[in-house]
Chain A
Amino acid sequence: MKKQNKNIPPREIARYAFAIFVILLGVYFDYMDISDQFLGFSSVGSWLTYVGFVMIAVITLQLFYTKKRVVDERMIFVANKAMRMTFLALVLFAFLIIILDGIKTTTITTPYHLFMSYLICGLMIVYFISYKILLRFY
């Protein structure tokens, strides 16, 4: 009689298989020394091996510590509402920036990468706060 493995879900087995494949690919690239021939970087083999081990560590930790979460329609509804609010905040923020740029005599000289980092962090904070607040109302 075939013994069924009830502990590890099939999705996790597939993820483990993919991580092992990534490790084997990395080892193969390193062993054959062919990374730089078609990927452009000689360190790709070592990098793939490293990523594979990190993947195994993450999957194992998730297997032991992640609780099964229920995502119901109310949460999706609230998430969509929070998303709309975040988009509205982005539009308002862009509008404010245009106004400020027009008022100021000197040009805004914030580096692009810094501006994008602040913007993404700001949007994530707006989304998180609006989601938490909206959960109380619905």
Chain B
Amino acid sequence: MKTKITFYRNKLGITQEDLGNLVGVTRQTIISLEQGKYNPSLELASKITKALKRKYIEEVFKV
């Protein structure tokens, strides 16, 4: 799954560790998500979208 996590994260100026702490996952999980290795659950996708201050999940995650 393609994601724009890195783009929005850099825009906000937060690290992978910070984002992980915000959504309650490890840094390794954020790395996997950014690399498109792991497909998140709807709950996690929603949390990440909120943490990145986006309105819609589709803005961050693209199937």
| A73: contacting residue among B20, B28, B37, B44, CB under 8 A | B44
Contact with A along B30-57 (1 / 0, CB 8 A): 0010000110110110000000000000
**Size category, A interface:** under 10
Interface size on B, as a range, is 10 to 19
**B26–A72 contact, CB under 8 A?**
yes
How far is A74 from B38 in the complex, measured between Cα atoms in Å? Answer: 8
For the residues of A in contact with B, the DSSP-based class is: helix
Q: In the assembly, what is the distance between CA of A74 and CA of B29, in Å?
A: 7
Contact A73 B25 (CB under 8 A): yes
A72/B25 in contact, CB under 8 A: yes
Alpha-carbon separation in the docked complex, A138 to B1 (Å): 12
Point out the residues of chain A lying under 8 angstroms from B40, CB to CB: 73
Minimum CB distance partner of A137 in chain B: B37
- For residue B20, which residues in chain A have a CB less than 8 angstroms away from its CB? 70
Contact A138 B37 (CB under 8 A): yes
> Are B41 and A73 in touch, CB under 8 angstroms?
yes
- Residues of A contacting B41 in the complex (Cβ-Cβ under 8 angstroms): 73
The answer to whether A70 and B25 touch across the interface, beta carbons within 8 angstroms, is: yes
Q: What residues on B are CB-neighbors of A77 within 8 Å?
A: 38
Give A137 to B32 CA distance when docked, in angstroms: 9
Given contacts A70-B24, A75-B26, A75-B29, 11 further A-B contacts (CB under 8 A): A70-B20, A72-B24, A72-B26, A72-B44, A73-B41, A74-B28, A74-B29, A135-B28, A137-B37, A138-B32, A138-B37
- 10 pairs of A and B residues whose beta carbons are closest in the complex: A72-B25, A74-B29, A138-B38, A72-B29, A70-B26, A74-B38, A73-B41, A72-B26, A138-B37, A73-B44
